[in-house]
Copies of this chain bind each other. A is one copy, B any other.
């Protein structure tokens, strides 16, 4: 039986339940408006390791361990871990999976990875291929800066369109419906790669906005839902510029999401006080906001139904040097409190 709905969406027949979730973040994120929501705030972003890359990997590992501990699950119970990150060859994820011995599917979707991983985990469970699966991702300000932009030691000035990469990791454990009490994953819209020609690597918001708008449009078209069917439509890390552009692009398509639209990248920092310019970004942004704040507030009843739309800019330093523009993608996942 097909579970397809329109061109880009699937409707889950046995919507997987969130079984557990955890988020660990760095000191700057702990000092932000969502600080109290996270399971752990690092005192030092080196996390006792010798490099930022090793610190990021440890943060991802500890977040996954914590998510298992919170649900009394062990690696023996979990059938798959879906993970990815921003580092070359997704080493945070692969080295995590060396320690956490669960069959591993490595993903790359840049900052869309949390939604990508959540989609895979949900589909594997709904289809009967897994009882429990973990979706997880991480990013680290310092490892990302030196890989994508400049060595931190250089002290390069950041343009006002730039975003601040979140030091943080998030993990969600999904399980079959009878095993959990929600929230539930009900619909998944997988994005296409969209590139309207933005070449400025310090303006990811503008590059990703067309992809966010396209996936949100596809979601409404495929499902027949309307913006008012959601209490919250939240993008991954579009930042100030991307949110504005996405809202405008959707208005041109006669879709008005302005009432319920928010962005993880604008929630995690006090942009002005914390000097983060256009907002936050990085896989860890939407991952920690989802697994720190959003799922808790769904459970608490603040939100009944949200559309989680993580967005990714699929550039590399090499593609930028070779004169390429920035292809982007967004994946959307419907998360709701109950199955009614």
Contacts and interface: CB of A to CB of B under 8 A. Distances in A.
Contact of A120 (B79, B105, B130, B322): B105
A314 interface: yes
Complex copy number for this chain:
2
A340 interface: no
A126 interface: yes
A166 to B, nearest CB: 18
Contacts of A322: 50-51, 53-54
Interface in A84-121: 84, 87-91, 94-95, 97-98, 101-110, 116, 119-120
A317 interface: yes
A195 interface: yes
Interface of A: 1-4, 7-8, 10, 50-51, 53-54, 79-80, 84, 87-91, 94-95, 97-98, 101-110, 116, 119-120, 123-124, 126-131, 147, 190-195, 314-319, 322, 324, 327, 329
Given A2-B128, A4-B130, 15 more contacts: A1-B128, A3-B127, A53-B322, A87-B318, A88-B316, A89-B110, A90-B314, A91-B314, A91-B318, A91-B319, A94-B327, A98-B195, A104-B191, A107-B108, A147-B318
21 contacts: A1-B128, A2-B128, A4-B128, A4-B130, A53-B322, A84-B106, A84-B108, A88-B318, A89-B110, A89-B316, A94-B329, A95-B314, A97-B192, A98-B194, A104-B191, A104-B329, A105-B190, A106-B109, A123-B124, A123-B129, A127-B129
